[in-house]
Structure 1
């Protein structure tokens, strides 16, 4: 059976007991990046064969993994952080499981999307998540304009190197747009910055952002 296992988004203590049990009992662990996952597994004294499974090799790996499970293997699927498939590898494998009628299960666990939504203080009853914002400014502006017109809290992942540019675009669209920048969630330097787009643009111009960022727009 395949088990899609969420891993901590920052704090190692956030892994669930069930996730640890699955990882300890697995015959093989497929990781987005074995170099990234090995320290987490070592921390919990889990020593299992590892196999890389990422966007560039997922299609090629699927037949091998499907065959192993059909022959009785238990394989755990993890990404670098959080829930596999959510802006991470695993979608093609999930589709193959469904197409081939291969048994799988998905464990609940850490998610930067839901953590940021809850911590932002923005409306939680309806929201959209659209992964990483486009790199090109024109496409990014269109995505932000669509989100602002969507009528529900909008959530994106954003690079710290592009955050200033993105806040500038938001300030140009609507200087008073309510924005939350959730940074380094669950880690030592976790912060939530809530203010207008214009104010946050000014703030991060003076204090360049670092770390992993979730950007939220309150468009209620």
Structure 2
């Protein structure tokens, strides 16, 4: 862990230099079109993962604040502590807050067993609101992925790779979704499908070109 942490710090301190060196390697050994396409995918992946982490943190803060407010209104013990704990465990998508629920229930049970039962009921209600409404909306917008695909990514990733799969599959699916969407629109533009107007396709492709130019610093 210490070696990995130290290596990550070195990478962050020299990220600009590494970025230039990696670009030089790709353009030296690959054709220009392939190098541009690969670097575009890498840039998209970086932005998606960064936005996903930001959205995940925002969702955790929202959930923690909800618990602090509700538990304070109900005058339960350790309201602030439990809210902060649930916010940290909520960084694990969808199911992480249940870990905070178990610890919070134990803390409240030591003071008042009846309030512990009420806390579990409150948790289940807030978790349903957060898991089905807030989380897909906040995280889906941050990575540009529709809510239904966020839930699908969490379900599939969790079944295949557990907690790591939940964290990785959402940004990965967002990257594939964006690339495939662009590919579909370009195919439609070539075939001149009547169901999609020419103006819509031109606006979409123009927007994608502008975004790619901005990411490349043009």
Q: Same fold (TM over 0.5)?
A: no
**Greater Cα radius of gyration, structure 1 or 2:** 2
Provide TM-score, normalisation by structure 1.
Answer: 0.29
Name whichever structure is richer in strand by fraction: 1
